[in-house]
């Protein structure tokens, strides 16, 4: 009974108007509680942070607790973890997101391709300015979050087309005017090449890249980062820097800094076959520090590919070929140092300067080449067609262009155009 009476007394204390009358220490004591000296009680209260058993409202403490509770709730509702293995880093800074969209100079009639929309931080801002957004997302979890984000706004959701899949594996991209992407770093290179090859070309592309990758887009002949990517980007487009973005603007933060670049395709488009052009660059940039003569004549895989392409070209043009074997004298003149050939071949297959520059036919034939070298390390090529192709390549490098002794890393766009034109004139093709 005494405990119940004490509880009633406390309820009466709690119900008082704290603004008009705050009870003293003595008022809060029950009959069964031995009194303590005031100074001792004050020290105890200060240590405990209490107010004599009375909880006084503190708006700042309440707000802090609410924020803490909200944070815990958000963490509890985070049903999946970002997959950084496929480059999932959500842009969380709204100011940066808005700046990226603003730099695209969108029109109300624009169709925008967004690659890797994630949870939609860029998407919402794009939809405010563009007619329609085509978002390509590979992760089903992200796609579900993006769909959920627009459920409450059906009118906006109608202007969003979500494609679940790998943008790199799509046979062709749908029509779009502008591309905006917080690009997953793992697909930076293939996405760039895919956009450069797209016809009709988009008006512009605003892309977020890893900083070093972005620097490769601007590299010139002779620079350390000069590569097939550099030549292709500058051949087909004008590349400009937009802004730097620190790693702390992402969740989770990546290990590298980022840059936003603008890629504006050239119009009119250069009158060169993209497949031919890129095929040539894939060959010469496998080892960009090697002279071109060695890259072609000293690499068996390259010569076999060119021979196969030449046969296809002749078949299409109804050109008859003498496909007989060479006589011994011609075969001896055609042979190269076998040990050197093996070294060159393995250099071309296994020790490329940049994996992005490795042609598919190198990757596909690596195992076959290794087996052939083991089974017959001293094999010789004695076909007349092979010798004819070899003579044509040598003529282009040493007579027509005089580029045989030049290294790919020192060749500029003009050199590669000259080389491609001379090869095509001889019926040598790269696609």
The verdict on whether residue 31 carries a ligand-binding annotation is: no
Q: Is residue 178 a contact partner of residue 154, using CB atoms and an 8 Å limit?
A: no
As a whole number, mean pLDDT of residues 366-386 equals 60
As a whole number, mean pLDDT of residues 262-274 equals 96
- Dist. CA 132–CA 150, nearest whole Å: 14
**Statement: residue 80 has pLDDT above 80:** no
The verdict on whether residue 241 carries a ligand-binding annotation is: no
Structural tokens at position 117: 């929309």
Q: Please, what is the angle between helix 188-197 and helix 274-284, to 10°? A: 140
Write down the pTM of the prediction. 0.71
**Statement: residue 3 has pLDDT above 50:** no
The verdict on whether residue 166 carries a ligand-binding annotation is: yes
User: Is residue 391 within a helix (H) or strand (E), and if so which, with residue range?
Assistant: helix 384-395
Architecture of the CATH domain 275-425: Orthogonal Bundle (1.10)
Per-residue pLDDT tens for 115-164? 999 999 999 999 999 999 999 999 999 999 999 999 999 999 999 999 99
- Dist. CA 385–CA 306, nearest whole Å: 11
- All CATH 3.40.50.150 domain ranges of the chain, comma separated, are 85-271
- All CATH 1.10.8.480 domain ranges of the chain, comma separated, are 275-425
Per-residue pLDDT tens for 227-238? 999 999 999 999
The verdict on whether residue 332 carries a ligand-binding annotation is: no
Strands ordered across the beta sheet of 178-182: 160-164, 132-137, 111-115, 178-182, 204-210, 258-265, 237-245
Topology classification of domain 85-271: Rossmann fold (3.40.50)
Question: For strand 132-137 and strand 204-210, is the pairing parallel, antiparallel, or unpaired?
Answer: unpaired
pLDDT score at 71: 44
């Amino acid at each position: 009974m005494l405990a119940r009476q004490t509880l009633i007394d406390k309820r009466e204390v709690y119900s008082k108007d704290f603004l008009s009358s705050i009870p003293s220490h003595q008022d809060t004591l029950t009959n069964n509680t031995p009194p303590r000296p005031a100074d001792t009680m004050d020290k105890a209260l200060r240590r405990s942070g209490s107010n004599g058993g009375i909880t006084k409202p503190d708006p700042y403490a309440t707000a802090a607790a609410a924020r803490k509770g909200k944070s815990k709730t958000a963490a509890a509702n985070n049903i999946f973890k970002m997959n950084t293995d496929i480059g999932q880093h959500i842009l969380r800074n709204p100011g940066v997101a808005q700046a990226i969209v603003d730099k695209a100079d969108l029109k109300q009639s624009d169709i925008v391709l967004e690659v890797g929309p994630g949870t939609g931080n860029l998407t919402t801002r794009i939809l405010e300015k563009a007619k329609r957004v085509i978002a390509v997302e590979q992760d089903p979890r992200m796609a579900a979050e993006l769909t959920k984000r627009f459920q409450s706004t059906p009118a906006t959701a109608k202007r969003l087309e979500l494609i679940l899949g790998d943008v790199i594996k799509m046979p062709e991209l749908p029509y779009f005017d502008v591309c905006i992407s917080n690009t997953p770093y793992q697909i930076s290179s293939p996405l760039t090449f895919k956009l450069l090859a797209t016809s009709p070309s988009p008006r512009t592309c605003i892309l977020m890249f890893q900083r070093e990758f972005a620097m490769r887009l601007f590299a010139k002949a002779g620079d350390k980062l000069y590569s097939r990517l550099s030549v292709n980007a500058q051949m087909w487009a004008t590349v400009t820097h937009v802004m730097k973005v620190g790693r702390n603007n992402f969740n989770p933060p990546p290990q590298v800094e980022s840059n936003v670049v603008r890629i504006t395709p050239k119009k009119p488009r250069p009158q060169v076959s993209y497949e031919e052009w890129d095929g040539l660059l894939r060959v010469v940039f496998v080892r960009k520090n090697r002279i071109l003569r060695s890259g072609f004549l000293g690499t068996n895989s390259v010569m076999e590919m060119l021979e196969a392409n030449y046969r296809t070209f002749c078949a299409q043009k109804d050109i008859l070929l003498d496909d007989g074997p060479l006589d011994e004298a011609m075969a001896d003149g055609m042979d190269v140092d076998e040990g050197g050939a093996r070294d060159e071949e393995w250099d071309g297959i296994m020790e490329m300067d940049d994996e992005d520059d490795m042609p598919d036919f190198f990757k596909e034939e690596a195992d076959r080449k290794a087996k052939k070298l083991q089974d017959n390390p001293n094999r010789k090529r004695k076909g007349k067609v092979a010798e004819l192709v070899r003579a044509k390549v040598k003529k282009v490098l040493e007579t027509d262009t005089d580029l045989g002794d030049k290294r790919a890393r020192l060749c500029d766009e003009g050199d590669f155009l000259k080389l491609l034109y001379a090869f095509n004139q001889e019926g040598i093709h790269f696609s």
